[in-house]
Amino acid sequence: MDYCGGRLMEKKGRLNIVNLNATSSDFSAASKFWREGMLIFLAVLALSLPQAALLPLLDRDEPRFAEASREMLQSGNYVVPTFNHEPRYAKPPLIYWCQAFSFEIFGENAFAARLPSLLATAGTALLLFVWGLSLGKDRIGLIAALSYAFCLQVVQQGRVATADALLIFFMTLTGLAGWKLLALAKNESSGTNKCWHLWGTILAFGFGGGFLAKGPEALLPLLPLLICARSLGGRVLSSFIAIFLLGLFIVSWWAIPAYIQTNGEYWYEGLGKDVGERMVKGFQGHGATTFLWYLLSIPFYLLIFWPSALPWSPLLLTHRKQLFSSWKPDWIDTYLLLNAGLIFLVFSLMVTKLPHYTLPAFPFMALFFARRWISTGLTSGIPIKLAWSTGIVLAVLTAVAIPVAFLNHVTPSPIGELVREAQADGVLTSNTDFALVDFREPNAIWEMRHVSKSYGWLIPESEVVSFLRHPGSHAVILSTSLWQKLQADTDPAWKIYEARGFNAAKLGPLDLTLVVN
């Protein structure tokens, strides 16, 4: 969609902008575009709801982000997030701002924590639809949007309460705005100052928002932009420098106060240590431990792409002759592949590796795939039906499987069951101090602070009984096996709750006990 100055028209198979004298057919085309775009957005959002609403927060990252957002809301400090009252420098604050706002509207629950990611994933699908339409065919946008939204890696990571979905949205927005600016520069007759300023501002907000979402990886789409713009003259490059400075100005509204409040620790820990360590050594057990394993892990993302991009990735193989036999890349293909390739290259060279790190490349890959598919004359129904079928089947399976699992007492959050049971009995209150012993997962902090207003103590095994004997209401969370060793010294008046489940972080069984004095 060519958007500039509030005009909308249909020309050469694509939606553009016209003035108020447009014909009814022009407005019909515009209405069709907005209707289809919103249907895609709402459909992606709706098919994400079972997973987001029914599952408790999983792994370690989701409860860390959610708890930090809750503490931000409670403290009123929107510059420096904390987890369990300790500074959390791992990520910039945008995801915490979004989750805190969501908590204000929907309450402090798993769905509200995941809602920003759901909206960002649906928003990325909408951006791809708009981008595909701008390339001349609404089928390109539809294939790209659905292929991205319903591939397995996005279904897994695009709906969780972390910063990744926001980063991908803003990196896609940066890529779209950069492509639009290149198109305007290559066709100077359509590149009015108003259009250039609009898309330049969008570009600045794109990489500025991405930086506030997750950090410097949001700047990666700028390099393909500069490579493709190198032949357009110094005036264009100077404009890009001005846009980059505008983006830095946006980031500085948070970065400078954060630097002052923490005496530079936020930048040192979050950008230097967190990002730097992931590049040069395995972080939190993820990555190669020797140079040989590092060399062997370099093709990891090229291999993991094929299952990650299911169900559409096999089409690249089964239809490779039609897609690539007479392929002559133009500058748009080059731009899309440079964006995807740079992301794969950078994260392949990093020592720390997790399957979702290259997910920001998937929108560019999906758009390239859709463009090739349509340009070769292949029927659009195959990838579209495949994507819809995958999204619907996974949503239905999730909506059925999760309640059935809970009815059979199979839960990834037994601590949540313990907290709700103790709260229902009235023994766990907002004044209860609590401690963690050998089970110190972030989920315990998140669940306990649904009720208790205090922060979690981390105590050794030898202090469990003495902690429970302190005056006032106290609670301890520990493994059932450890509690069985200690219960000879217990008070009969203490309330004891037990629950079983599985540890989503370690993929193993979990047997927990909550003791309240």
pLDDT 10s per residue in the chain (517 long)? Answer: 444 543 333 444 444 433 434 444 445 555 667 788 899 999 999 999 998 999 999 888 999 999 999 999 999 999 999 999 999 988 899 999 999 999 999 999 999 999 999 999 999 999 999 999 988 777 999 999 999 999 999 999 999 999 999 999 999 999 999 999 999 888 764 446 778 889 999 999 999 999 999 988 999 999 999 998 888 877 888 888 899 999 999 999 999 999 999 998 887 777 666 665 655 555 555 555 666 767 777 888 899 999 999 999 999 999 999 999 888 999 999 999 999 999 999 988 887 778 889 999 999 999 999 999 999 989 999 999 999 999 999 999 999 998 888 887 778 888 999 999 999 999 999 999 999 999 989 999 999 999 999 999 999 999 998 899 888 899 999 999 998 888 767 778 889 999 888 777 677 788 999 999 8
Three-state secondary-structure class, residue 465: helix
Supply the pTM of this predicted model.
Answer: 0.91
Do 369 and 441 share a structural domain?
no
* Strand partners for 503: 508
CA dist., res. 502 & res. 411, Å (int): 6
* Other beta carbons less than 10 A from residue 289's beta carbon: 11
Do 478 and 433 share a structural domain?
yes
Do 418 and 393 share a structural domain?
no
CA dist., res. 299 & res. 39, Å (int): 38
Residue 405 lies inside a defined structural domain of this protein:
no
User: Sign (positive/negative) of CA torsion 114, 120, 123, 124?
Assistant: negative
How far is C-alpha 461 from the geometric centre of its chain's CA atoms?
A: 37
Residue 303 lies inside a defined structural domain of this protein:
yes
Do 456 and 373 share a structural domain?
no
Q: Which two tokens stand for residue 476?
A: 């301890």
Q: Which two tokens stand for residue 402?
A: 């999760």
Residue 408 lies inside a defined structural domain of this protein:
no
Do 216 and 82 share a structural domain?
yes
Do 426 and 314 share a structural domain?
no
Q: What is the extent of the structural domain holding 448?
A: 414-516
Do 489 and 347 share a structural domain?
no
Do 383 and 252 share a structural domain?
yes
Do 124 and 161 share a structural domain?
yes
Do 261 and 129 share a structural domain?
yes
* Strand partners for 515: 476, 496
CA dist., res. 29 & res. 25, Å (int): 6
Residue 409 lies inside a defined structural domain of this protein:
no
Asked if residues 150 and 391 have their Cβ atoms less than 8 Å apart, the reply is yes
Residue 236 lies inside a defined structural domain of this protein:
yes
User: How many domains are contained in the chain?
Assistant: 2
CA dist., res. 312 & res. 378, Å (int): 14
246-252 contacts at long range (C-beta below 8 A, 24 or more positions apart): 246/200, 246/201, 246/204, 246/208, 247/203, 247/204, 247/205, 247/206, 247/207, 247/208, 247/211, 248/208, 250/204, 250/205, 250/208, 250/209, 250/212, 251/208, 251/211, 251/212
Asked if residues 310 and 155 have their Cβ atoms less than 8 Å apart, the reply is no
Do 337 and 208 share a structural domain?
yes
Asked if residues 466 and 490 have their Cβ atoms less than 8 Å apart, the reply is no
Do 325 and 382 share a structural domain?
yes
Residue 15 lies inside a defined structural domain of this protein:
yes
CA dist., res. 431 & res. 98, Å (int): 28
